[in-house]
Amino acid sequence: MTPVAAAARTAPSRGRARPRRAGVAAAGEGDDVAVGRAERAVRRTLDGTVAVLAAWTPAYHLCLVLGWHAEVAVALAAALLVVAVVVGRRLRATAAPGPARDVRPPRAHRPLLVAAAAAAVVTAVLGAVGAPWTAVAVLWLVAAAAGTAWAARTLHPATPRAASAAPAASRRPGVGLALVAAAGLAVLAATSRWPNPDDLYYVNLSQWTAERGTFPLRDTIFGDEVFPMTSFPPVASYDGLVGTAALLAGVRAADVVYLVVPPLGTALAVLALHRLLRAWRVPAVGLALVVALAFLLWDGGPGYAAPGNLFLIRMWQGKVLLLCLLVPLLLVALLRHAARPSRRTVAALAVGGTAAVGLSTTAMFLVPVLAVGGVAPLLVRRRWRAAAGGFVAASAYPLAAGVVTVAVGGRSADDFLERRTFRFDPGWFGPEIFRDGTVALVGVAAVLLGALLVPHRDARLTTGVLALAVGVTFVPGVTLLVYDVVGLGPTLWRVSWVATVAALVGVLAVRLAGAGTPGAPRVRRVVVPVALVAALVAGGQPIWTAGNRVEQAWPPTLKRGPGSVVVAEAVLARAEPGDVVLLPEQDAITTAVLTTRVKTVAPRDYFLDQLRDVPGFRYDQRLLLVRFADLDALPAGTDDADVLAALADLDVRQACLLLPSGSEEDADRRRAEAPQRVALLEDAGFAATATVGRTACWAR
């Protein structure tokens, strides 16, 4: 029996379903009585993590606006947690009244099922062979729409009996395997080092809080709140939380960000993935988890948008924590609400939505999309009030954050209309997300077949709606239109995060293996998953290896290039608070994440653009010195006097040059100009201090 045929057989029938105990089991996680202590502990740990993030976020926002100290935010967050615990204990998980009205008896609708499956397979093949993305997008929408329609038609009416008629959860919850995987991958996350330039803004904010105990509303990269902030407003509370933790511990923010968060976040992400699979009532959940993790671990390669490159090798970033931790947990909360709405499920959604905003501004548009998919089963059953309550609870804080951002003139350091405009093109970001070859074949097929294969009927519909939402972003012109209307820009590609690709790959593997299908041969249950993992390994790229630009370091170190850390620490050892230093880009970024007491001329050149016209910023001189330090060609008409004037006007105390290497395209020009630039620094009164790798430094 094929997986799709098996899914059709699990579609609801007219017969009566045996009543099941309500509560958490309605969402497929089982009753606390039936699960072991380990699973209860995992569940409480995940819920507690979300609660802490949710309590911290409004406390941070209040202190941000009023200028209160970080320790006040800690006290406010603690008070909110106490209130949440008291309220949570008083809430009762009683089902909302009102069965569905005028809902036709469900039918399997086999032609629709076959059409959806066929379109999904063809779309996956086209993606794998690198076909024009327009063709992929069209078939994607067809497959997602057909799958969503089939999932909607197979829903039961919203009665207590029917609501619990989904397949039973696996008797082997696999929590032990999940804990082992979480521990192992936590170690891998701790040892993996893949420097990311985005840390300049986020970790610098955290370091400001660690050093000063306040939350800034103005720039901390180029000055001490002298200039406007380049990315404004700082909505995400995660950076303030990390900085506050560093403040209380008496360490640098970078130590918390790079040494504590990656293993902790990775372990929680693995457990959240396991919880989602359990909520979907996936049989052989341990097998599904193993295949899902294999997909992530071999989803490396060029680019940064693929799920694998947004996993443990970048787990210290708030947006990656949003994707890997909050998205699965929000889907679980939405599923519980769809299965049996109550005041408790509404409260859980409000907590999850608030926590998501705390991790990343991406939540402002991602959570409402998730919420639409999550309440879709309630809409089909015509439970309007429960659907509206769930959507509002999950989306209120994210949407409010978005409204405030627009109202205060929100902006990004990245000028989307001037810099790398190809990012608006789905023909670029579609393959960046799903890649090609075996990885694309498996990933795309899993997402589009999810509405047919996920065991829990409510989750099927949610999966289909979310796949359809992802497909809309693939329509040419949509991202640019959304940018013109609300200013989201190319970041709309992150809507793909709602697809939970890895989890759906796990579901696909279980269905192909015949787990949960009566009469499926035992050999099939072994051979198929092994073959699928082997195909992923053969066709993929390990995310933790040098081939993916990732280094392994033991003991764990800062997630910055080791050479840049040495340079930054050497420069800082000579610097005084308030000094300005000139460094090549990677060394400048590392310096900016290690301290806010010493400023760099320009850690990333495009961060200058938002401040181009700000009086006293000296945009042209900063840009000139950046090119000077990187040995790039200087603007036409520039002479030595201009460089000397820029060094003097910006009061540069130390300067470092990126020495040429033979592998660069213009290596001959760089080798010829390097001695001239060294001589210019010496003429300005700089004396050589140290050379680390390709970086040579001078001070005066």
pLDDT value of position 350: 98
What is the distance in angstroms between the CA of the first residue and the CA of the last residue of the chain? 77
Is residue 328 within 8 A of residue 366, CB to CB? The reply is no
Nearest to 292, CA basis, from 442, 135, 452, 132: 442
Q: Based on the number of CB atoms within 10 Å of its own CB, is 614 exposed (0-12), middle (13-18) or buried (19 or more)?
A: middle
Mean pLDDT of the chain: 90
DSSP assignment of 354-377 equals: HHHHHH-TTHHHHHHHHHHHHHHH
**Torsions phi, psi for 657 (to 5 deg):** -115, 145
- What would the two tokens of residue 471 be? 């497909």
pLDDT value of position 123: 98
pLDDT value of position 7: 53
Total Cβ atoms within 10 A of residue 463:
33
CA atoms within 13 A on the CB side of 178: 25
- The pLDDT confidence band at residue 304, using thresholds 50, 70 and 90, is confident
* Helix residue ranges per DSSP H, 214-342: 238-249, 253-255, 261-279, 285-297, 318-321, 327-339
Total Cβ atoms within 10 A of residue 597:
16
Element (H, E) at 443: helix 437-453
One-letter identity of residue 431: P
322-to-81, 145, 361, 545 alpha-carbon distances in Å: 20, 27, 10, 24
Q: In this predicted model, what pLDDT tens digit does every residue of 428-461 receive, in sequence order?
A: 999 999 999 999 999 999 999 999 999 999 999 9
Cα 511 to Cα 605: distance, rounded to the nearest angstrom: 50
Element (H, E) at 572: helix 562-574
Cα 375 to Cα 459: distance, rounded to the nearest angstrom: 10
pLDDT value of position 670: 86
**Spatial CB neighbours of 74, under 8 Å, sequence gap ≥ 6:** 59, 244, 248
Cα 227 to Cα 611: distance, rounded to the nearest angstrom: 8
Cα–Cα–Cα angle for 361, 330, 21, rounded to 5 degrees: 165
pLDDT value of position 413: 80
Cα 204 to Cα 591: distance, rounded to the nearest angstrom: 9
Cα 17 to Cα 33: distance, rounded to the nearest angstrom: 22
Question: What is the pairing mode between strands 580-582 and 192-193?
Answer: unpaired
Q: In this predicted model, what pLDDT tens digit does every residue of 469-479 receive, in sequence order?
A: 999 999 999 99
134-to-131, 141, 426, 440 alpha-carbon distances in Å: 8, 11, 8, 16
Any idea what DSSP says for residue 103? P
Cα 82 to Cα 74: distance, rounded to the nearest angstrom: 12
pLDDT value of position 172: 61
Cα 373 to Cα 155: distance, rounded to the nearest angstrom: 14
Count helices and strands in the chain by DSSP H and E runs? 28, 7
Burial per residue of 141-169, b for 16 or more beta-carbon CB atoms within 10 angstroms, e otherwise: bbbbbbbbbbbbbbbbbbeeebbbbbeeb
Q: Average pLDDT in the 651-677 region?
A: 87
pLDDT value of position 489: 73
**Spatial CB neighbours of 337, under 8 Å, sequence gap ≥ 6:** 345, 346, 348, 349, 374, 375, 378, 386, 390
Cα 245 to Cα 209: distance, rounded to the nearest angstrom: 9
Residues in the chain: 700
Q: Average pLDDT in the 629-658 region?
A: 94
Total Cβ atoms within 10 A of residue 384:
12
pTM of the complete model: 0.92
Q: In this predicted model, what pLDDT tens digit does every residue of 11-25 receive, in sequence order?
A: 444 344 444 443 333
Q: Omega of the bond prior to 577 within 30 degrees of 0, cis?
A: no
Element (H, E) at 406: helix 384-407
- The pLDDT confidence band at residue 497, using thresholds 50, 70 and 90, is very high
Alpha carbon 346 to chain centroid distance?
24
Is residue 155 within 8 A of residue 108, CB to CB? The reply is no
Q: Average pLDDT in the 131-141 region?
A: 96
Paired residues of 552 in beta bridges: 192
* Helix residue ranges per DSSP H, 129-256: 133-153, 160-163, 175-191, 199-212, 238-249, 253-255
pLDDT value of position 112: 92
- What would the two tokens of residue 120 be? 């999904």
**Spatial CB neighbours of 569, under 8 Å, sequence gap ≥ 6:** 594
- Match 């005066």 to its residue by tokens: 700
Total Cβ atoms within 10 A of residue 619:
15
**Spatial CB neighbours of 444, under 8 Å, sequence gap ≥ 6:** 120, 123, 124, 127, 128, 136, 140, 434
**Spatial CB neighbours of 607, under 8 Å, sequence gap ≥ 6:** 200, 201, 221, 230, 413
Question: What is the pairing mode between strands 652-658 and 687-692?
Answer: unpaired
- The pLDDT confidence band at residue 540, using thresholds 50, 70 and 90, is very high
493-to-135, 502, 654 alpha-carbon distances in Å: 18, 17, 40
pLDDT value of position 416: 72
Q: Average pLDDT in the 48-69 region?
A: 98
Any idea what DSSP says for residue 256? I
- What would the two tokens of residue 389 be? 């309550």
665-to-111, 221, 662, 669, 671 alpha-carbon distances in Å: 57, 31, 8, 9, 12
Q: 655 by DSSP, 3-state: which?
A: strand
- The pLDDT confidence band at residue 680, using thresholds 50, 70 and 90, is very high
Q: Which residue has the higher pLDDT, 519 or 372?
A: 372
Cα 401 to Cα 323: distance, rounded to the nearest angstrom: 18
**Spatial CB neighbours of 246, under 8 Å, sequence gap ≥ 6:** 206, 207, 209, 210, 252, 253, 255, 256
Any idea what DSSP says for residue 323? I
Alpha carbon 250 to chain centroid distance?
28
- The pLDDT confidence band at residue 251, using thresholds 50, 70 and 90, is very high
- The pLDDT confidence band at residue 554, using thresholds 50, 70 and 90, is very high
Report the percent of the chain where pLDDT is more than 70: 89
Cα 464 to Cα 446: distance, rounded to the nearest angstrom: 11
